[in-house]
Amino acid sequence: MNKNFSWFNLTSITFGFAFLYIPILLLVIFSFNESKLVTVWAGWSTKWYSALLENQALKDAAWVTIRVGLVSATVSTVLGTLAAITLVRMGRFPGRTLFSGMIFAPLVMPEVIIGLSLLLLFVAMGFDRGFWTITMAHITFTMCYAAVVVQARLQDFDKSVEEAAMDLGATPINTFFQVTLPIIAPSVISAWLLSFTLSLDDLVISSFATGPGATTLPMKIYSQVRLGVTPEINAISTILIGIVTIGLLLAAYVTKRQTERSERERRKAFGAAG
């Protein structure tokens, strides 16, 4: 492989990542700018971060967003894991094609359509729109991402381990909690983190699903962005980027350790057998 790695490859990677990261870096750097002008550097300052702490409306929105994220990510991970098991382990059953269609369609479906259709459902059902309707809307689209993440892991691992457990008399539920879940745990954690960040970021679907009283952080940011670029938005964005980066690094670390451990155990098992 390495001898094929030419200057051309290195250049395209370098330019590609510069394109991906320079906008984010500029945004982060200028959140520490002294001046109110977002594009002219005037020295380091953290004053925009302290300004955030005094903005009660923003803090309220952040709190709503975090609560929605925690509840929806948890429910969506449970439903997504069940959906992944259905897709990978359940074989054929009536309505399977429709089911896999409903899992994959939301991944590409324009958000305005999902948002509008959910809102009309909530109105038809007579729900009070607010925290719970946003949460239900988020569960709906994030569970599909969760299902895809867990599904990839379920497909990878050797089914015979599960079969062995059941041959030895474990019930399906025992098998799931003692054999399957520990193996797919890293993907379940990733699914939770992905659902949480997707929920944290969502603007369009939340805007449709919400009612008076529940404003999420992206909705707040959006209404301010429309008025122009301000260093406060840079500061809040930087905090969000920081949270997501830490979350993702954590997920990568968990996955890496898990794979290393299972690799070690496998080698040990083979060593003992040989």
Partner 1 sequence: MSAKANGLGRWYVIAAPYLWLLIFFLIPFFIVFKLSLSDVATAIPPYTPTFSWSEGIGKFISQLDFENYTFIFGDPLYVNAYLSSVKIAAISTVLTLLVAYPMAYGMARAPKSWQPTLMMLVILPFWTSFLIRIYAWIAILKPEGFLTMFLMKLGIISEPLQIMNTTTAVYIGIVYSYLPFMILPLYASLEKINPALLEAAQDLGSRPWRAFWQITFPLSLPGVFAGCLLVFIPAVGEFVIPDLLGGSDTLMIGKTLWNEFFNNRDWPLASAVAVILLLVLTIPIVLFQRQQQIERESGR
How far from 201 is each of 56, 62, 86, CA to CA, in Å?
20, 11, 28
Q: Which is nearer to partner 1, 43 or 226 (CB)?
A: 226
CA pair distance 257, 247, nearest whole angstrom? 15
Q: Which is nearer to partner 1, 123 or 268 (CB)?
A: 123
Count Cα atoms within 13 angstroms, Cβ side, for 221.
Answer: 22
Least Å from the CB of residue 110 to partner 1: 2
Q: Are 1 and 13 in contact (CB under 8 A)?
A: no
Least Å from the CB of residue 274 to partner 1: 27
Least Å from the CB of residue 203 to partner 1: 5
Residue with tokens 């750097």: 29
Handedness of CA 179, 182, 186, 191 (dihedral sign): positive
Helix (H, G, I), strand (E, B) or coil at 147: helix
Q: Which is nearer to partner 1, 51 or 241 (CB)?
A: 241
Q: Which is nearer to partner 1, 97 or 271 (CB)?
A: 97
Q: Which residues have a Cβ under 8 Å from the Cβ of 99 and sit 6 or more positions away?
A: 83, 86, 87
Least Å from the CB of residue 123 to partner 1: 5
Least Å from the CB of residue 5 to partner 1: 5
Look up residue 212 and give its DSSP letter. Answer: T
Count Cα atoms within 13 angstroms, Cβ side, for 22.
Answer: 6
Least Å from the CB of residue 272 to partner 1: 26
Q: What angle do CA 167, 171, 174 make, to 5 degrees?
A: 115
Structure tokens at 111: 């958000």
